[in-house]
């Protein structure tokens, strides 16, 4: 016996400065209008469901995080919109634009979401990882949401973020030759980035446009131009722009953004005068709120190759988000 779906997905497009951004509007099946939530992806969320673009990252599993969240929100009576980043999936335009364009695109979509005829005038934003940074910029430059969710948000500096991430890889490499050989075979880019970490951090601190280092007798370089926006507007300074009721959601075993950043984020929101802030730490989960392998070596290997994207989500996700947004948007 079939069961009727409690949501419906509609394909929608938004015109944004020379590109058409394609996405999915997920609506409840109850009588509208409804509050609407804009879902903003992070660094590895090129596609609307928070998946990577296979052209950039072949072989990475789909995680479908935002599809799961959107359907859960619809069941609770909240509509949502998620979209393919410029140049990715069904969206047109140049792939891999810099942060300023990403913020501008998100701002255009946010204006569109707030004017949807299906909406009831109440609208929220949710940003995961770098998407939380984008959310704060959009709240400043376009309009405040009625509620906000910051998932796995970065507070520390970009240099500190790189030291944390590639420090983990270097610690793994220091386990010996078999581990070095494994990383070189399965993710040559991660090996190079880990070996270049000191040069990149030094270049950032000295405001140099390119980092250069010798790796195994070969000269390698990294263009740091794409980091300039984030360096000029540090993550820690962005939370003061968010005045809406906010949920700070983080995972205890996050190997991308340390869980300590969640506490700093809450303190920054409070310092800016936002006292309607909730903090939820999801135990035994990774940056995507998925359940990682129990042993450390497998966890690090799956982080390096992004194979952890295929793991099941923690039982608390996305229920913690749905509970918060239901209370803030439907009351």
Residue 13 has pLDDT above 90, yes or no: yes
Instruction: Tell me which residue range forms the domain holding 141.
Output: 7-156+237-329
Between 188-195 and 158-173, two packed helices, what is the crossing angle to 10 degrees?
110
Helices then strands (H, E): number in the chain?
11, 10
Residue 112 has pLDDT above 80, yes or no: yes
Give the contacts of 315 (CB within 8 A, at least 6 positions apart). Answer: none
Same-domain status, 19 and 165: no
With H, G, I as helix, E, B as strand and everything else as coil, classify residue 260. helix
Give the contacts of 311 (CB within 8 A, at least 6 positions apart). Answer: 286, 290, 291, 292, 293, 302
Is residue 302 a contact partner of residue 292, using CB atoms and an 8 Å limit? yes
Exposure b/e, 213-250, CB count within 10 A at least 16 = b = beeeeeeeebebeebebbeebebeebbebbbbbbbbbb
Residue 185 has pLDDT above 70, yes or no: yes
Average confidence (pLDDT) over 280-285: 97
Is residue 34 a contact partner of residue 120, using CB atoms and an 8 Å limit? yes
pLDDT at residue 2, rounded to an integer: 40
CATH number, domain with residue 103: 3.40.50.1820
DSSP 54: T
pLDDT at residue 96, rounded to an integer: 81
In a domain, residue 56? The reply is: yes
Same-domain status, 247 and 106: yes
CA proximity to 290, closest of 303, 274, 308: 308
Same-domain status, 131 and 51: yes
What is the C-alpha to C-alpha distance for residues 212 and 247, in angstroms, rounded to an integer?
Answer: 40
pTM for the model stands at 0.96
Same-domain status, 88 and 106: yes
pLDDT at residue 6, rounded to an integer: 87
Average confidence (pLDDT) over 24-53: 96
With H, G, I as helix, E, B as strand and everything else as coil, classify residue 287. coil
Beta bridge partners of 23: 12, 83
Same-domain status, 14 and 103: yes
* Confidence label for 331 from pLDDT (cuts 50, 70 and 90): confident
* pLDDT, tens digit, 9 for 90 and up, residues 195-244: 999 999 999 999 999 999 999 999 999 999 989 999 999 999 999 999 99
Residue 56 has pLDDT above 60, yes or no: yes
* Domain final residue pick, 227, 245, 265: 227
In a domain, residue 2? The reply is: no
What is the C-alpha to C-alpha distance for residues 35 and 188, in angstroms, rounded to an integer?
Answer: 45
Residue 3 has pLDDT above 80, yes or no: no
* Terminal-to-terminal C-alpha distance of the chain: 35
Average confidence (pLDDT) over 278-295: 95
DSSP 313: B
Residue 1 has pLDDT above 70, yes or no: no
What is the percent of the chain with per-residue pLDDT over 90, rounded to a whole number?
95
Average confidence (pLDDT) over 64-70: 98
Residue 5 has pLDDT above 80, yes or no: no
pLDDT at residue 97, rounded to an integer: 82
Asked if the bond preceding 33 is cis, omega within 30° of 0, the reply is yes
Report the domain count for the chain.
2
pLDDT at residue 4, rounded to an integer: 63
Burial of 152 (0-12, 13-18, 19+ CB in 10 A): buried
Same-domain status, 14 and 84: yes
Residue 35 has pLDDT above 80, yes or no: yes
To 10 degrees, the CA torsion angle through 31, 35, 38, 39?
-70
Residue 254 has pLDDT above 80, yes or no: yes
Average confidence (pLDDT) over 244-265: 97
Same-domain status, 78 and 102: yes
* Domain final residue pick, 205, 227, 249: 227
What is the C-alpha to C-alpha distance for residues 184 and 206, in angstroms, rounded to an integer?
Answer: 29
* pLDDT, tens digit, 9 for 90 and up, residues 267-276: 999 999 999 9
Pinpoint the alpha helices (H) of 90-176: 99-114, 130-141, 158-173
* Confidence label for 71 from pLDDT (cuts 50, 70 and 90): very high
Average confidence (pLDDT) over 56-83: 96
pLDDT at residue 95, rounded to an integer: 86
192 HSE (CA, 13 A, CB side): 15
What is the percent of the chain with per-residue pLDDT over 70, rounded to a whole number?
99
Same-domain status, 115 and 147: yes
Residue 103 has pLDDT above 90, yes or no: yes
With H, G, I as helix, E, B as strand and everything else as coil, classify residue 149. strand
Average confidence (pLDDT) over 83-99: 93
């Amino acid at each position: 016996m079939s069961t009727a779906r409690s949501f419906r997905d509609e394909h929608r497009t938004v015109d944004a400065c020379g590109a058409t951004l394609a996405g999915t509007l997920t609506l409840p099946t109850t009588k509208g209008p409804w509050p609407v939530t804009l879902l903003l992806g992070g660094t590895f969320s090129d596609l609307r469901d928070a998946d990577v673009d296979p052209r950039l990252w072949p072989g990475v599993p789909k995680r479908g995080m935002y599809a799961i969240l959107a359907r859960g929100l619809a069941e609770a009576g909240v509509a949502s919109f998620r979209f393919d980043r410029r140049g990715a999936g069904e969206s047109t335009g140049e792939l891999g634009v810099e942060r300023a364009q990403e913020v501008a695109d998100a701002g255009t979509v946010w204006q569109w979401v707030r004017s949807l005829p299906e909406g009831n005038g109440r609208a929220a934003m949710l940003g995961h990882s770098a998407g939380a940074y984008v959310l704060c910029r959009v709240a400043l430059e376009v309009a405040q949401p009625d509620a906000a969710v910051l998932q796995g948000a970065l507070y520390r500096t970009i240099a500190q973020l790189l030291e944390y991430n590639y420090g983990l890889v270097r610690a793994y490499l220091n386990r010996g030759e078999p581990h070095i050989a494994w990383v070189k075979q399965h993710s040559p880019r991660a090996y190079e980035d880990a070996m270049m970490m000191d040069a990149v951090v030094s270049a950032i601190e000295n405001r140099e446009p390119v980092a250069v280092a010798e790796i195994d007798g070969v000269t390698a370089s990294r263009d740091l131009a794409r980091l300039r926006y984030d360096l000029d507007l540090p993550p820690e300074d962005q939370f003061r722009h968010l005045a809406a009721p906010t949920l700070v959601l983080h995972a205890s075993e996050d190997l991308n953004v340390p869980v300590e950043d969640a506490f700093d984020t809450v303190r920054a929101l409070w310092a800016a005068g936002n006292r309607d802030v909730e903090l939820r730490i999801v135990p035994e989960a990774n940056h995507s709120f998925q359940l990682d392998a129990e042993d450390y070596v497998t966890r690090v290997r799956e982080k390096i190759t992004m194979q952890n994207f295929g793991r099941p989500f923690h039982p608390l996700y996305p229920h913690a988000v749905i509970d918060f947004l239901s209370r803030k948007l439907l009351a």
